[in-house]
Amino acid sequence: GVNVPEAKYIWLDGRLIPWADATTHLMTHSLHYGTAVFEGIRGYASGGELYVFRLLDHMRRLEASARIYGFPMRYRPEDLVSATLELLRADELHEDVYIRPLSYLGYGTIGLVFSEVEPHVAVIAFPYGKYFHKEGVNLMISTWRRICQEATPPAAKVSGHYVNSVLAKMEALKHGFDDALMLDSNGYLSEGTGENVFIVRDGALITPPSSAGILEGITRDTIIRLAKEEGIPVEVRDVARHELYLSDEVFLAGTAAEITPVLSVDGRPIGGGAPGPLTSRVKVLYESVVRGRDPRHPEWRTPVYVRGS
Ligand code: PMP
């Protein structure tokens, strides 16, 4: 059934339209060929304010995704920041929200050449809670490999890329796991279906590099920077599959999943099969920074209401 809570409006090409009116034609280019770029952003309610986390950074990545594929972008990242704030205020959202900017190619051709097709940009926002409704997750290594950068660069957050994630996710669920990790075409650890992955060995955080077919997550970047500030060693390097089985801790990091402890991989318990100390520390740190309970990095939090419009 439908499990997206509705909001009042959707921002489309410069104006707010009622949620129910946000429909599109079946000849939409992006629907046939996956030629859209998108973002996933969270807004956190705290002390009567709503803080959007790393809003401009997400809009910049949206533009970068479009640039990688040569898709046109009708709006600058700064314009889309304003659009998002306008939408959240019009919707009067005061609880935790998920924000989905989507830049897509519309009606105009059955062919692949999209230069004649009208580009559109939408910003959608709705109340949103947890992505994983449990304290930790059990993962499998997918039998599907992560898409390779030689064919469809995973550094771009392109709609079509998500067929790869859907294959891995559905396979994992079918086998009784919560989600999957994917290896790159060289057999090194890449990422989850919608999250980056960190392992902990000997007190250091280790995460795969951009060359391992990952989307360079904004949560991943946040964790790397906070860890360095805390004096926690961080290594960005290739991770072999067997290292997962030797890890003291493993966790997922993404906007939707936030920091999610991994309790087992392929049925093998990680650490003691419970969230580890460094994972718990990073999770608490992340949660206090996104809600502004920890005052560090105020530039990462855009308040929706105090600034007025
Ligand atoms: N990898 C993939 C494939 C994703 O879809 C996401 C979610 N955008 C991430 C990683 C994590 O990125 P972020 O932390 O920016 O949400």
For ligand 1, atom 2, name the residue with the nearest CA: 194
CA dihedral (54, 59, 62, 66) in degrees, to 10, reads -150
In the three-class reduction of DSSP (H, G, I as helix; E, B as strand; rest coil), residue 294 is classed as: coil
Domain that holds residue 179: 137-290
How many Å separate Cα 120 from the centre of its chain?
21
Based on the fold, state whether residues 149 and 285 are members of the same structural domain.
yes
- 1 occurs within a structural domain: no
Based on the fold, state whether residues 65 and 150 are members of the same structural domain.
no
The span from the CA of 178 to the CA of 174, in Å, is 9
The CATH number assigned to the domain holding 98 equals 3.30.470.10
For ligand 1, atom 9, name the residue with the nearest CA: 195
Based on the fold, state whether residues 37 and 144 are members of the same structural domain.
no
pLDDT tens for each residue of 22-47:
999 999 999 999 999 999 999 999 99
- 244 occurs within a structural domain: yes
Which one is catalytic: 157, 169, 174, 228?
157
Based on the fold, state whether residues 282 and 202 are members of the same structural domain.
yes
The span from the CA of 214 to the CA of 192, in Å, is 9
- Tell me, using a 6 A CB cutoff, whether residue 218 lines ligand 1: yes
- Tell me, using a 6 A CB cutoff, whether residue 39 lines ligand 1: no
**Distance in Å, CA 193 to ligand 1 centroid:** 8
- 155 occurs within a structural domain: yes
Domain boundary residue, one of 74, 107, 127:
127
Establish whether 169 is a catalytic residue. no
For ligand 1, atom 7, name the residue with the nearest CA: 194
**Distance in Å, CA 194 to ligand 1 centroid:** 5
- 162 occurs within a structural domain: yes
- Tell me, using a 6 A CB cutoff, whether residue 65 lines ligand 1: no
Tokens 């067997």 correspond to 242
Whether ipTM exceeds 0.85: yes
- 184 occurs within a structural domain: yes
**What Cα–Cα distance (Å) separates residue 143 from each residue in 161, 180, 257?**
17, 9, 22
Based on the fold, state whether residues 123 and 83 are members of the same structural domain.
yes
- Tell me, using a 6 A CB cutoff, whether residue 184 lines ligand 1: no
> How many domains would you assign to the chain?
2
Token couple for 36: 């859209």
For ligand 1, atom 5, name the residue with the nearest CA: 194
- Tell me, using a 6 A CB cutoff, whether residue 217 lines ligand 1: yes
Looking at residue 300, the DSSP 8-state letter turns out to be G
- Tell me, using a 6 A CB cutoff, whether residue 219 lines ligand 1: yes
pLDDT tens for each residue of 76-127:
999 999 999 999 999 999 999 999 999 999 999 999 999 989 999 999 999 9
- Tell me, using a 6 A CB cutoff, whether residue 208 lines ligand 1: no
The number of helix segments (H) and strand segments (E) in the chain equals 7, 17
Based on the fold, state whether residues 182 and 259 are members of the same structural domain.
yes
**Distance in Å, CA 112 to ligand 1 centroid:** 27
Each residue's pLDDT expressed in tens, for the chain with a length of 309 residues: 667 789 999 999 999 999 999 999 999 999 999 999 999 999 999 999 999 999 999 999 999 999 999 999 999 999 999 999 999 999 999 999 999 999 999 999 999 999 989 999 999 999 999 999 999 999 999 999 999 999 999 999 999 999 999 999 999 999 999 999 999 999 999 999 999 999 999 999 999 999 999 999 999 999 999 999 999 999 999 999 999 999 999 999 999 999 999 999 999 999 888 999 999 999 999 999 999 999 999 999 999 998 544
